[in-house]
Amino acid sequence: MIKSLWLLLLLPFLTLAQAPSSPSLAGCPVFPADNIWNVPIDKLPVAAHSGDYISAIGREVGLHADFGSGLWDGGPIGIPYIIAPADQPLAQIIYTAYGDQSDEGPFPVPADAPIEGGANSDGDRHVLVIQQGSCHLFELYRAFPDQKVWQADSGAEYDLASNALREAGWTSADDAGLPIFPGLVRFDEVASGEIRHALRMTAPVTQRAYQWPARHFASDETDLSLPPMGARFRLRADFPVEQFSPPVQVILRAMQRYGLILADNGSSWYISGAPDERWDNDMLHELDGVEGSDFEAVNVSSLQISANSGQAR
């Protein structure tokens, strides 16, 4: 019954042709339409080390939807975000680890902003805020509220209307120095019938290197068979997407057209998304049947216009 309702919901969207446009939220673009997050990579050549990268992450390891509904270990499942009004009061940000690679506050982060894993989490504790009006994205890593102040290991600010990248060599709220929010799977996008951007993924061991558009590495390993931060992967074009439930098909087609971007050290083939009580966790577990061997690494160098810009050809 649930799958049938999903199909009825998606049919109007699956039959309409849409002009290419930037993903958007709360009246803000999520980077320009020609940003590397939002440009298809389904026709690009396979990367030279594709086989090595897939083996390093795990050929026989299934995907894992690192998001869903309900709670796990006392916290929401996924990386939450909040939309703050244009007049949101500013909070001082005190950096406790990577202040020299972080954007100076204050940031419009509400005192009750949702924290990844919940208020008592001992994990990454990401906090993501999109401010209406300015259309700026603010992201914190290992964030702890203290009245009108937030303490965090690192933080970054992004203009969602710009293709600008962070300083070369700088981290962000993510190991790769990339924004987190643009790579999240969001329920409303899936319900619309199309995800028009790449998705964020993690891998357990990475190379001491990064490739465009990433800006930072987080490893001491120099083995060239390991994937660098920013490595792009896509689901093979011949993968039988139609065998899955309609909502899962939407996610898989995004993996074919826009791919995955390696953005953080973590578990193999973990795909990031935002928590939402409307997710069907059992349905999301269908992704477990998609394995690393179903992917290939992609060479995106032909899309690069400038090493210091996310604009793609």
pTM over 0.75: yes
In a domain, 126, yes or no: no
Residue pLDDT, tens place only, 104-122: 999 999 999 999 999 999 9
Kindly state the percentage of the chain with pLDDT values over 70: 94
Residue pLDDT, tens place only, 44-70: 999 999 999 999 999 999 999 999 999
- What pLDDT score does 147 carry? 84
- What pLDDT score does 3 carry? 46
In a domain, 92, yes or no: no
In a domain, 258, yes or no: yes
Radius of gyration of the chain (CA): 18
Contact (CB, 8 A) for 260 and 300: no
Residue 224: how many CB atoms within 10 A of its CB? 13
In a domain, 235, yes or no: yes
Q: Which domain holds residue 178?
A: 2-6+21-78+168-303
In a domain, 157, yes or no: no
Determine whether 239 is exposed, middle or buried from the number of CB atoms within 10 Å of its CB (0-12, 13-18, 19+). Answer: middle
In a domain, 97, yes or no: no
For residue 140, the cross-strand partners are 127, 155
Task: For the chain, list the strands marked E by DSSP.
Answer: 24-25, 28-29, 64-66, 71-72, 75-76, 82-84, 92-95, 127-131, 136-141, 144-146, 149-152, 154-159, 199-203, 232-235, 260-265, 270-272, 295-298
Q: Could you give the number of structural domains in the chain?
A: 1
In a domain, 243, yes or no: yes
In a domain, 34, yes or no: yes
Contact (CB, 8 A) for 127 and 146: no
